[in-house]
Structure 1
């Protein structure tokens, strides 16, 4: 498995920075899974300086960002016609106030991951969660160090979908209703929330109770309301089915939610594609539940 890796300066400039918190938490799983990390220049160099040599045997250096390193990751997410030139996903630990996080290549990296159904991982919590999900799919025992990510009974889950993705969100919720119902609370935006409540009532959920708490629709501020929950540490996981093929009139609101998630990088998990959400839900079902 080949994963592109980049981190904004904030996340690798100190020994306790986000990049190293992730690698120290997940290094065993990365090795168990045989994940080869293909890191943009300064991110690669920071890893070598901070971690013992040989700790990540699949680590490969790409050019610095200003020399096209991040652009190369984008091209290899799309695929370059050979397995050794194709990435299976990307970890990009984002500092939301770093100007480079909104450079075209940074935006394109996420967009192409969503289009091609590959993981785009932008927070420490998401990166830890992804490694544990893949470990479970590989038949490895649950890592107790990831138990905090699976304490669904004390967590809030946000479910959001663009108009073109609403049928996929409903299909996902129908198939994995049991896993989603484990969360202490579910929140969502306008129409998506109403459709999900109707689904839950059809499944026997008490009609006097909302299965999902509805906020405003996205264009009317629902994304901002959920972003506020994330920043207040009151929403720990977001499943956001984005449609990358249409113009988004409320682009700023969507970016607001994404920036909120990366602001609380150790706490918030975000999944942006239906196939990856399904893969997560299957792993969550297989993993022993928290007591």
Structure 2
């Protein structure tokens, strides 16, 4: 991980308001980084950041990549970004009280984040701890398990 992070931001519909509030609160910290968002969340984050910048009178370039909406493949795209080393950490405000039509995609995304040792926050408290960590603005070398034994296993 370099000093400037690639931050995945994802939220289920019932948690988008919470994530926008969190983004508003942390806009100054987020601006220098590259944000990678699933579809609707990305649009809302872009609008939220622009509103905050207008209030402060700051003119800044925001680096946001918007993927497809989660249920339309965005969760899987995000998982591919993680597997390809294009995500440094993920903030995913998911809704534990509402079944999602794409629950299997959500589970796969969380699984791939753990597999590749990506710091992941699933609630505001954890997101606050992550973004306020001294490691947020430092280079960091995360450990990734060596899967060569698995890849070279005998399948007979």
Coarse TM-score class (shorter-chain normalised):
0.7 to 0.9
Q: Which has the larger radius of gyration?
A: 1
Count of aligned pairs between the two proteins: 135
Give per-residue Cα distances to partners, 1:227-271, cap 9 Å, x unaligned.
000000111100000110001110111112112112212xx1111
Q: CA 1:247–1:235 in 2, change beyond 3 Å: closer, same or farther?
A: same
Gaps (5+ residues) in structure 2? 140-156
1:156 touches 1:237 (CA, 8 Å); kept in 2? yes
SS in 1 for 2:133: helix
Structure 1 residues 252-267: aligned runs within 5 Å: 252-265=104-117
Which structure carries more relative contact order (alpha carbon 8 Å, separation 6+)?
A: 2
1:197 touches 1:211 (CA, 8 Å); kept in 2? no
Deviating 4+ runs (over 6 angstroms):
none
In structure 1, which of residues 257, 269, 277 is the aligned counterpart of residue 127 of structure 2? 277
In structure 1, which of residues 228, 242, 249 is the aligned counterpart of residue 94 of structure 2? 242
Q: CA 1:257–1:152 in 2, change beyond 3 Å: closer, same or farther?
A: farther
Q: Cα offset for 1:218?
A: 0.5
Gaps (5+ residues) in structure 1? 1-147
Partner of 1:196: 45
In structure 2, which of residues 22, 31, 35 is the aligned counterpart of residue 186 of structure 1? 35
Distance 1:164 1:232 in 2: 29
SS in 2 for 1:212: strand
Structure 1 residues 1-291: aligned runs within 5 Å: 151-153=2-4, 155-183=5-33, 185-202=34-51, 203-204=53-54, 211-265=63-117, 268-284=118-134, 289-290=137-138
SS in 2 for 1:213: strand
1:196 touches 1:211 (CA, 8 Å); kept in 2? no
What's the Cα RMSD here?
Answer: 2.2
